[in-house]
């Protein structure tokens, strides 16, 4: 493992949170071995960036004994602004992640509209959000009942194959491509009506020859960094396709700085669509804020052979690319004159060659759920 990072100038000014601590809750409350190890290392490195101490997770009743305010690294997006306030989270300087006022807003369910005005929906469903992002997403619908989902599937199947996505799954899991209503009914048969009513299901036009881009932004201790990048797929130890890492180009500043260095029209389109999605969230979800924003953008060919691009979902929590995000922040902290950096995070299932000598290893070993796995990050270029 590379030597621990030593904080440079700039970021030491923000030391109000004295303890950086993981906080486990929500959809990812039962994390795997590699997820826990990864988040522990993220906590440690964020503490170094902030010039603060870090701690293992403690019950909230013991936080006062930590000697100061707590900067949280939650396992998931925090839900309900009042709950966040009770945890001491009032703004982006209090956590690495995000806060939403209602649970469904933390999932990919928000990306698409309902099939009809009288379709089932959870309380506080926003009609405005899917309307505002319509130009930045693929054709699709969100449904909270089996009947509504079948009506939506019928309409979308007229365009071609449909991707059915369970909204609480991550990393490409819980997704099935169907080509007719028979296949759709079989896909949704194991899902209970109560699950549909609570979580919903997303139906989206399927693309071929897909490349998934990531567009995101992190804000830590007064430094804002934005990025675009590509994701890599790999095969898991169980034979399924899984997330295999990301390569990011990261710049100091906001999305405007990012657009100025986009190398081609595909990337410029992805950045612009992510910006549309981000602005809509901040406009439509009262009480939403996040210090870590990540938007997955799919680009590929639709059933008619036309090139399409659209935001698939958001991540306002620690994610697969966070190791690469932190590597960029460390470069900017150590070298205030650096304006951009290229970083990589790699996930390899099964036996593999030793990571590069300069890599920061987040996990290497046997995960009780995923099997043998190695996760590390590297810095490939600064400019």
pLDDT, tens digit (0-9, with 9 covering 90-100), for 153-199: 999 999 999 999 999 877 667 789 999 999 999 999 999 999 999 99
pTM for this structure? 0.91
Q: Residue 237 and residue 264: Cα distance in Å, rounded?
A: 35
Owner of token pair 């990393």: 171
Q: Tell me if residue 351 falls in helix, strand or coil.
A: coil
Residue predicted with more confidence, 114 or 81: 114
CB neighbours of residue 210 within 10 Å: 13
Integer CA distances (angstroms), 246 to 150, 214, 361, 370, in order = 35, 8, 15, 19
Note whether 158 and 182 are within 8 A (CB).
Answer: no
What H or E segment, with its residue span, contains residue 293?
strand 292-301
Note whether 363 and 374 are within 8 A (CB).
Answer: yes
Side-chain half-sphere of 318: how many Cα atoms within 13 Å? 28
Read off the pLDDT of each residue in 114-135 and give the average, rounded to a whole number: 97
183 burial (CB, 10 Å; 0-12 / 13-18 / 19+) is: middle
Q: What is the mean pLDDT of the chain?
A: 91
What are the domain boundaries of the chain? 11-103, 107-136+139-206, 209-382
Q: If you ran DSSP here, which 8-state letter would residue 365 be given?
A: E
Q: pLDDT digit string (tens) for 28-83?
A: 446 789 999 999 999 999 999 999 999 999 988 888 766 668 999 999 999 987 78
- Token pair in block for residue 199: 């979580």
What H or E segment, with its residue span, contains residue 131?
helix 128-132
Q: What is the pLDDT of residue 25?
A: 77
Read off the pLDDT of each residue in 105-110 and give the average, rounded to a whole number: 96
- Token pair in block for residue 341: 């950096």
Q: What is the pLDDT of residue 190?
A: 95
Integer CA distances (angstroms), 325 to 215, 301, 377, in order = 11, 29, 10
Note whether 98 and 78 are within 8 A (CB).
Answer: yes
Phi, psi of 111 (to 5 degrees): -65, -30
* CATH 3.30.470, domain 209-382, yes or no: yes
Owner of token pair 């990337």: 267
Q: Residue 10 and residue 334: Cα distance in Å, rounded?
A: 9
Note whether 305 and 294 are within 8 A (CB).
Answer: no
Residue 334, sorted as left (phi over 0), alpha (psi -120 to 50) or beta, turns out to be alpha
Read off the pLDDT of each residue in 213-224 and give the average, rounded to a whole number: 96
Provide the CA 75 distance to its chain's centre, in angstroms.
Answer: 11
Q: What is the pLDDT of residue 62?
A: 84
Class level of CATH domain 107-136+139-206: alpha beta
Q: Residue 269 and residue 250: Cα distance in Å, rounded?
A: 17
Q: Which residues, 6+ apart, have CB-to-CB distance to 119 below 8 Å?
A: 143, 144, 145, 148
Note whether 327 and 250 are within 8 A (CB).
Answer: no
């Amino acid at each position: 493992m590379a030597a621990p990072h030593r904080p440079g100038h700039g970021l030491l000014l923000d030391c109000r949170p004295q303890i950086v601590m993981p906080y486990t809750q929500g959809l990812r409350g039962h994390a795997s071995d590699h997820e826990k190890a990864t988040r522990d290392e993220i906590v440690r490195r964020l503490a170094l960036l902030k010039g603060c101490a870090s701690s293992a997770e403690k019950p909230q009743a013991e936080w006062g004994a930590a000697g100061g305010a707590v900067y949280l690294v939650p396992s998931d997006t925090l839900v309900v602004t009042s709950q966040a306030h009770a945890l001491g989270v009032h703004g982006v300087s209090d956590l690495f992640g995000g806060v939403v006022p209602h649970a469904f807003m933390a999932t990919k369910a928000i990306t698409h509209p309902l099939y009809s005005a009288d379709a089932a929906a959870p309380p506080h469903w926003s009609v405005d959000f899917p309307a505002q992002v319509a130009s930045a997403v693929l054709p699709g619908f969100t449904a909270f009942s089996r009947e509504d989902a079948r009506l939506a599937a019928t309409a979308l199947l007229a365009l071609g194959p449909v991707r059915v996505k369970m909204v609480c799954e991550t990393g490409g899991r819980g997704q099935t491509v169907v080509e007719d209503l028979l296949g759709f009914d079989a896909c949704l048969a194991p899902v209970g009506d109560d699950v549909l009513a609570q979580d919903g299901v997303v139906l989206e036009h399927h693309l071929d020859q897909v490349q998934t881009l990531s567009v995101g932004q992190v804000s830590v201790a007064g430094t804002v960094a934005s990025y675009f990048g590509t994701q890599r797929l790999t095969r898991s130890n169980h034979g399924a396709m899984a997330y295999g890492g990301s390569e990011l180009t990261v710049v100091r500043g906001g999305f405007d700085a990012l657009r100025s260095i986009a190398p081609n029209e595909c990337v410029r389109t992805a950045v612009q669509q992510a910006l549309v999605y981000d602005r809509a969230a901040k406009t439509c979800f009262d009480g939403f804020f996040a210090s870590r924003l990540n938007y997955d953008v799919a680009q590929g060919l639709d059933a008619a052979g036309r090139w399409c691009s659209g935001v698939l979902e958001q991540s306002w929590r620690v994610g697969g690319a966070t190791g690469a995000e932190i590597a960029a922040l460390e470069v900017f902290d150590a070298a205030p004159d650096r304006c951009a950096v290229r970083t990589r995070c790699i996930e390899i299932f099964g036996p593999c060659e030793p990571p590069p000598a300069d890599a920061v290893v987040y996990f290497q070993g046997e995960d009780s759920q995923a099997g043998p796995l190695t996760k590390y990050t590297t810095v490939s270029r600064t400019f």
